[in-house]
Structure 1
Amino acid sequence: MKNIRIMTQIIFLIFFSFVIVNGNMVLWLVIFLLSLLGAAVFGRFYCGYICPMNTAMGVTAKLAKRLNWQMKSVPKVLKSKSLPWIVLVLMIATMIVSKRVLQLELPILLMLMALSIIITLRYEEYVFHNHVCPYGALLSLTGKGAKFSTKVDTSQCIGCKKCEKVCPSMAVKVDEKEKVAKINPALCHQCQSCTLICPTKAIRYTKI
């Protein structure tokens, strides 16, 4: 499962690079829109398997943790619920102004990717995923009602919190009273990292 996800991420990263080089951003927009609609049924698979920013952030996070660069405390400005929507408006406004006024095609997605890498060098991955990324904000709206998603069988869960530690988006939380893990489909990337590490095989991708 892990190898399949990594290979899929690499393939889409190469494809994204091809799209950037050829300036065909409409094609990538189509992929995202299809993923946005698909999230209503299959969950946020775009984040876990397709998103080039997530792929770059995964590598960045490993490097940052090894060098002990990441900080636990997160500034309030990066916790604002309105921040990803502000970023989305700024992206759209920049694209319109650059194209119509400056007659330029600015690499907005590359700029957003650079921002994701910079933030992940200092903070854990969930900070960008949940509080900055405009794509994540849009996907959380359709993904929260997904028909299929990663789910915990509470009868088998032992509350070990291993799933919490590997989740890049903090979608998994162990209830302190019930001592069982619960997954928020609005945040879950469907990456299956929690499924692979669960010692009792209590987590699986299934119909909700």
Structure 2
Amino acid sequence: MKYQRIIQWTFLALFLILIFTGRIQIWMAVFFISLLGALFFSRFYCGWICPINTIMEQQDRWFRKQKKIRKPVPAWAKNPALRYGFLLIFLVLMASALRFGLKLPVLPALTVLGILVSLFFVPEFWHRYLCPYGTLQQIPGKAARKKWQVNSKECISCGLCVKVCPAEAVTIPESRSPAVVSPRDCLACTACARVCPKECIQYG
């Protein structure tokens, strides 16, 4: 966890430096490299590199400490049309900026939007149903060679992993059945592994 925090804050610092030096487009290279890496290591970008997630984790800790409850994911937001529509808008804006040399603050605006959304709604709303980065990462993430998995023989179905997952990636399909991690939705953030009393959620 210590190394994870160091990596997260390092990339957040890099992201901010690129913003203030007017070189934010370089960040897309970081993202596309991680997109290819997701085929082998799952969605490590989301849990270890993404500046939006790093900030949202701090927000989440504050909300938990203050015992404040945020709104759940709205039913209408679970329609795939919202996710893919948001992705389309993001791609069109990015393509326009690159094609015509426009200085559109797409990435900074996306960061601010993610932070604002998570002030009022649970993290799942952004991570699973809105974030265009996450939507793109789902494709290689599903086929990743290495991923977080639950040892079904050791799992006691306590549900702690389900409660802490910020992307609704961990589920218990049936009562008392072992938990299951969806590689497509898993952010590789290690939150589930950290709370598992049996230490049966492992990466491999």
* Aligned counterpart, 1:199: 197
For each residue in 1:150-198, what CA deviation from the matched residue of structure 2 results, as whole angstroms up to 9, or x when unmatched? 1001000000111111111111111324521000001111121211211
Give unmatched runs, 5+ long, in structure 2: none
Q: Is this contact kept in 2: 1:64–1:122, CA < 8 A?
A: no
Shift of the alpha carbon at 1:29? Answer: 1.0
Alignment TM-score, normalising by the size of structure 2: 0.91
* Aligned counterpart, 1:68: 68
Give the counterpart of 1:134 among 132, 142, 157.
Answer: 132
Q: Which stretch of structure 1 is more off in the superposition, 26-35 or 123-132?
A: 26-35
* Aligned counterpart, 2:112: 114
Q: Is this contact kept in 2: 1:143–1:186, CA < 8 A?
A: yes
Shift of the alpha carbon at 1:86? Answer: 1.6
Give unmatched runs, 5+ long, in structure 1: none
Give the counterpart of 1:173 among 136, 156, 171.
Answer: 171
Change (3 A) 1:135 1:100: closer
Please list, as runs of the form range in 1=range in 2, the aligned pairs for 1:71-150 lying within 5 A after superposition: 71-72=71-72, 74-95=73-94, 104-150=102-148
Q: Is this contact kept in 1: 2:156–2:176, CA < 8 A?
A: no
Supply the distance in 2 between the matched residues of 1:55 and 1:44 (Cα, whole angstroms): 14
| Aligned-partner SS, 2:80 | coil
Q: Is this contact kept in 1: 2:165–2:192, CA < 8 A?
A: yes
Supply the distance in 1 between the matched residues of 2:42 and 2:92 (Cα, whole angstroms): 29
Shift of the alpha carbon at 1:67? Answer: 6.2
For each residue in 1:60-104, what CA deviation from the matched residue of structure 2 results, as whole angstroms up to 9, or x when unmatched? 2233442625113x3334222122322222223334556777x74
Q: Is this contact kept in 2: 1:69–1:121, CA < 8 A?
A: no
| Aligned-partner SS, 1:204 | strand
| Aligned-partner SS, 2:197 | coil
How many positions carry a matched residue from both structures? 203
Supply the distance in 2 between the matched residues of 1:201 and 1:61 (Cα, whole angstroms): 23
| Aligned-partner SS, 1:68 | coil
* Aligned counterpart, 2:183: 185
Amino acid at match of 2:51: P
Supply the distance in 1 between the matched residues of 2:30 and 2:183 (Cα, whole angstroms): 21
Supply the distance in 2 between the matched residues of 1:69 and 1:192 (Cα, whole angstroms): 22
Amino acid at match of 2:12: L
Supply the distance in 2 between the matched residues of 1:62 and 1:97 (Cα, whole angstroms): 37
Change (3 A) 1:151 1:97: closer
